[in-house]
Amino acid sequence: MTPKLFLQNTWKHRAHVVMALPAFLVLFFIMYVPMTGLILAFKTYKANMGIYASPWNGINNFKFLITSKDIFFRMTGNTLLYYAVFTILGTLLNVVLAIAIDQFVFKQAAKVMQTIMIIPVFISFAAVQFIVFAFLDRDTGLLNRLFNADSPIPFYAAQAKQYWPVILTIVKIWNSVGYGSVLYMSVLAGIDTEQYEAADIDGANKWQQIIHVTVPALYPMITVMLLLSVGGIMKSDTGIFYQVTRNTTGLWDTTQVIDSYILHSILNNPNYGFTAAASLFQSVVGLLMMLLANGLVRKLEPDNALF
């Protein structure tokens, strides 16, 4: 294509250029320009000089990052572990719930129950943390009152940190499984009834039908959703880790992830160079995982690849 042809085409489509412009500009100022802020990872930030004029310090920030074992390895480890648990358990429960609702013959009841199951996803974690508190508080918490009124567990203190992976997993399931199952249900709704009828004629019982007809029908969607989620492996839902734990220092060992660390640092710690190094690490690993994930989806389910 010659430049002249290109210009002619662009002029012909000037209306489309105008229409694309507002979103183009928002993306530019909100997404693209901030990418340049990551150069702070190679700088010592001086507030009076600003981001771009602050002095370079090579890879010092990264050296600090790697040597600060307790922070870097802790938050990276937590991020990966929570990702694994949330993703595997979440997908499993999404599928189980979708099949359960799909098999339930009282459709009206199923609809009402599903509506209720989706509600938690609409409650922000800033609000959820008060609900969790009502269950866990040392003195007034429902669970402590019910089960160990004599020696209540101080959940929001360091000695209770081993409970939090379980607590956060339960909160996450409560929050997202009802919503997550919707996608799988739409796949189930698309299964041809004839397949069940054929299985029925072949003498398959309900369980056999689920295992041989229902579950295989879900495989493509499960594969796609799992692979796409790999792209977000370094990202966490900040709310669940920062809000629900009330960002309690004593719980960081088991609850702090990269995103909640970064948020905490912005609000409390002006060592932005160090935090930017963590941030850049997160973004680069995220990019690699995203490319990997999309490559795999492209191979297995080309229609579902993002690009």
Partner 1 sequence: MAKKDMDLAPSRREKKGFGQYVLGFFLLLYTLFCFLPFLLVVIAAFTDEQCLKDNGYSFFPKQLSFTGMGQVLKYGKQLGNSYAITILVTVVGTFLGLFIMSMFAFAISRKEFYLSKFLKVYLIIPMLFNGGTLAGYMIFTTVYNLKDNLILLILPLTVSTMNVIILRTYIANSIPEELMDAARIDGAGEYRTFFQIVLPLMKPSLAAVGFMMATAYWNDWQNAMLYIDTNSKKPLQLLLVNIQNNIQMLLNSHNIPSEVYAAMGNTLPERSATMATVLVVVGPIIIVYPFFQKYFVKGLTVGSVKG
Tokens of 140: 């007034």
Least distance in Å: CB of 253 to partner 1? 22
Q: Could you give the C-alpha distances from 58 to 53, 55, 262, 265, in angstroms and in order?
A: 14, 9, 21, 21
State the Cα–Cα distance between residues 114 and 14, nearest whole angstrom. 47
Q: Which residues contact 236 (CB under 8 A, 6 or more apart)?
A: 79, 82, 83, 257, 258, 259, 260
In whole angstroms, how close is the CB of 185 to partner 1 at the nearest point? 7
Residue closer to partner 1 by CB (options 49, 84) is 49
Minimum distance from residue 69 beta carbon to partner 1 (Å): 21
Residue 162 or 186 having the CB closest to partner 1: 186
Residue 211 CB, shortest distance to partner 1, in Å, is 15
Q: Which residue number, 88 or 287, has a Cβ lying nearer to partner 1? A: 287
From CA 47, how far away is CA 148, in angstroms rounded? 51
Looking at the Cβ atoms of 19 and 158, the one nearer to partner 1 is 19
Q: Are 22 and 264 in contact (CB under 8 A)?
A: no
Between 84 and 109, name the residue whose CB sits nearer to partner 1.
Answer: 109
Please state the φ and ψ torsions of residue 302, each to the nearest 5 degrees: -50, -35
Q: 192, 191, 209: which is closest to 200 by C-alpha?
A: 209
Closest CA to 235 of 206, 261, 212, 258: 258
CB nearer partner 1, residue 34 or residue 203: 34
Dist CA 93 CA 102 (whole Å): 14
Which class for 259: exposed (0-12), middle (13-18), buried (19 or more C-beta within 10 A)?
buried
Q: How far is the CB of 22 from partner 1 (least distance, A)?
A: 4
Q: Which is nearer to partner 1, 19 or 157 (CB)?
A: 19
DSSP conformation class of 301: -
Amino acid identity, position 115: T
Residue 202 CB, nearest distance to partner 1 (Å)?
A: 14
CB of 231 to partner 1, least distance (A): 8
Q: CA–CA separation, 54 vs 49, rounded Å?
A: 5
Closest to 71 in 3D by CA, of 292, 218, 303, 260? 260
Question: Closest approach of Cβ 2 to partner 1, in Å?
Answer: 11
Question: Given the complex with partner 1, which of 163 and 179 has the nearer CB atom?
Answer: 179
Tokens matching residue 111: 């609809």
